Amino acid sequence: MRIVLLGPPGAGKGTQSKILSARLGVPQIVIGDILKAQVSRGTPLGVAAKPYLDDGKLVPDPVIIETIHERLEDPDTDKGFVLDGFPRTVPQAIALDTTLADAGTPLDVVIELVVGRDDVVRRLSGRRVCSNCGHIWHVEFDPPTVDGICDVCGHDLIQRSDDNPETIIRRLGEYAEKTVPLTDFYAAQGKLVRIDAAGTPEAVTAATIAAAEPY
Ligand code: AMP
């Protein structure tokens, strides 16, 4: 079971890919998290990627493609994966297709979470992340009991540095310019399933599972 989740920042890819990965028993591969971990460890990849993450720009394709190839060589991906945040450009998608074709294990389905720009801006600007356990809260839609404190583990909530209005606008610009063309790319392969992601997380989960289940 090899799935790609597409959608703008704030569409809920993280939430849905986590649920799908647990349900299907395959790893959830979140490229943004891999990059952020490298940045905080100060590795050469992290140092190269940091200015792009800070600016809300996409990291250059060759760097990302090499990173994901290394991850896909890990044996836990033998039974499949849910990819969250990769590919984000047509060259990345072509590189992924080539690698998977060489291995005789093509993608099964690409699920696009569709949500409007205003919703995305509201979701991202109110998003708060637990600094300890990573649980995601929202100041308006899913607030913790005590402002700024995680209900799950009691640690402080933080706002992602790229969830500020200026960087959000740049990330959405990158999405429109470089990632939206991927929908045509996968539709032409007959692999694209579009899901309305404006509803409740539960409704989106039901639709996402229904899209993945036939495979
Ligand atoms: P995310 O957590 O998915 O919103 O990703 C955070 C940041 O990581 C993005 O704004 C980009 O700077 C970088 N990034 C994540 N995935 C990719 C990708 N597939 N290609 C290039 N840059 C990426």
Q: Is 194 a catalytic residue?
A: no
CATH architecture label of 2-117+175-212: 3-Layer(aba) Sandwich (3.40)
Interval 19-52: pLDDT, tens: 999 999 999 999 999 999 999 999 999 999 999 9
The closest residue, in CA terms, to atom 1 on ligand 1 is 32
Interval 160-176: pLDDT, tens: 989 998 999 999 999 99
Q: Is 160 a catalytic residue?
A: yes
Ligand 1 centre from 104 Cα, in Å? 27
**What average pLDDT score do residues 155-163 get?**
94
Ligand 1 centre from 201 Cα, in Å? 22
DSSP 52-99: HHHHTPPPPHHHHHHHHHHHHTSGGGTT-EEEES---SHHHHHHHHHH
pLDDT recorded at residue 202? 87
Per-residue pLDDT for 215 more than 80? no
